[in-house]
Amino acid sequence: MRRLGRAIFCVLALGGALWWALVFAGGWVRSATLGELPPGPVAALDLPLFVLASALAAAGVRWAAAVAAPWTAFVAVGMAVYASVTGLAGWGAVAMICAAACVIPAAFLVWMGRVPTEWLLRGPFRFRSSRLPGTAAVLGSTLAQLVVFWGLFLGVLPWIILWCEVRWGLHVDAPGWLRFLGAAVFLAASALGVWSAVTMSVAGHGTPLPQSMARELVVTGPYRWVRNPMAVAGVAQGAAVGIMLGSWMTVAYAVCGALLWNAAIRPHEEADLSERFGESFERYRRSVACWWPRRPSDRSQP
C-alpha cells in the first residue's frame, strides 16, 4: 500500500509541475485557476511545498508527505474562499479540492501503509446494537434520522454546492426534461430509502445509524435484492438532486460519497455484521450483491 501512496504522490508532483508550466505560459489556465492572484509569489510557496514535497514523497521520503498534505489542504480551503469571495479561479478551487482529496489518504499510505478509516467510526459513530425499547421507539428514531440526514445531505449541502458552482463560474444550464427525470429518480429512490428504513426498524429492531444498529440480521424487503438498499437509495437521491438543480458538482458530490462509503465505511460495517451474526451473514453476503440489485435466492436466508 505504501507503493500506492507513492504512486499517487508521483502523479500529483507531475500534475503540479505541468500546471505551473501552463500557468507561466499564460492564457486560459492562469485566469481559470489563479484568477487575479500573482503567480510568482504563489509559485514561490507551492513549488517547494507541493510539487517538490510530492516528488520527495514519491521517492519514499516520508517527512515530505507530512509537508505536502497539510499545505495542499490549506491551499484548497484558501482557493475555495478566494473563489467564493471574488467569483474567480473556480477551476483552481476544484483542482485543489481534488488534490487534497488525493494527497491526504496518500500521506497516510506513505506513513502507515494504510488509511485508518476506523477513525471515522469512533465516539457517537461507533457500532452499537440498538437499545431502544420497542418498535414504536425504533420507528420514531429512524424517522427523526431520515429528516435530519435527508435535510442536511439532500437539502442544505446541495444548495451550498450549487451556490459555489454558480459563484465560481462553473455552472452549466441543463435542459428542462433532465430536471423532470431527476425528480422521478428522486421519488423512486426516496421510496426505496423509506422502505429500507422501515424494514430495518421492524425486522431488525434498529436504525440506520451505527450507534443504534439492528439487533437482528435483516434479509427481508429490499434487503432480499441488495445488501445496502439505503446506500443505493442515498446515492441515487443525491445524484437526482444534482440533476434537478442542474448541478454537475452535486452529482459529483453524490458519486464521491458513494466511493467514500464503499471504501471507508462498508468494510467495517460488514466486519461488524460478520462478527455478530457469523455464518448467517456470510451466507447472506455470498448470495446478495452489495450494490446492484438482482433476483433473490433462497440462499440469502440465514
Residues 283 and 222 in one domain: yes
In the chain, the percentage of residues whose pLDDT exceeds 90 is 79
The H helix count followed by the E strand count for the chain is 13, 0
Residues 211 and 139 in one domain: yes
Please give the span between the terminal C-alpha atoms of the chain, in angstroms, as a whole number.
Answer: 35
109 by DSSP, 3-state: which? helix
Give the model's confidence band at 212: pLDDT under 50 very low, under 70 low, under 90 confident, else very high.
Answer: confident
Residues 136 and 196 in one domain: yes
Residues 99 and 165 in one domain: no
Residues 293 and 244 in one domain: yes
Q: What is the pTM of this model?
A: 0.90
Residues 103 and 201 in one domain: no
Whole-number pLDDT of residue 300: 46
Whole-number pLDDT of residue 93: 97
Residues 201 and 284 in one domain: yes
Out of 84, 115, 146, a domain closes at 115
Out of 56, 91, 115, a domain closes at 115
- Strand pairing partners for 256? none
Tell me the per-residue pLDDT of 103-154, one tens digit each, with 9 for 90 and over: 999 999 999 999 999 888 887 778 888 888 888 898 999 999 999 999 999 9
CATH number of the domain within which 167 lies: 1.20.120.1630
Out of 90, 115, 140, a domain closes at 115
CA 103 to mean position of chain CA atoms: 15
What average pLDDT does range 258-280 have in this prediction? 93
Phi, psi of 258 (to 5 degrees): -65, -45
Containing structural domain, residue 47: 2-115
Q: Is the distance from CB of 191 to CB of 199 less than 8 angstroms?
A: no
Tell me the per-residue pLDDT of 281-301, one tens digit each, with 9 for 90 and over: 999 999 999 888 877 665 445
| Cα Rg, the chain, nearest whole Å | 22
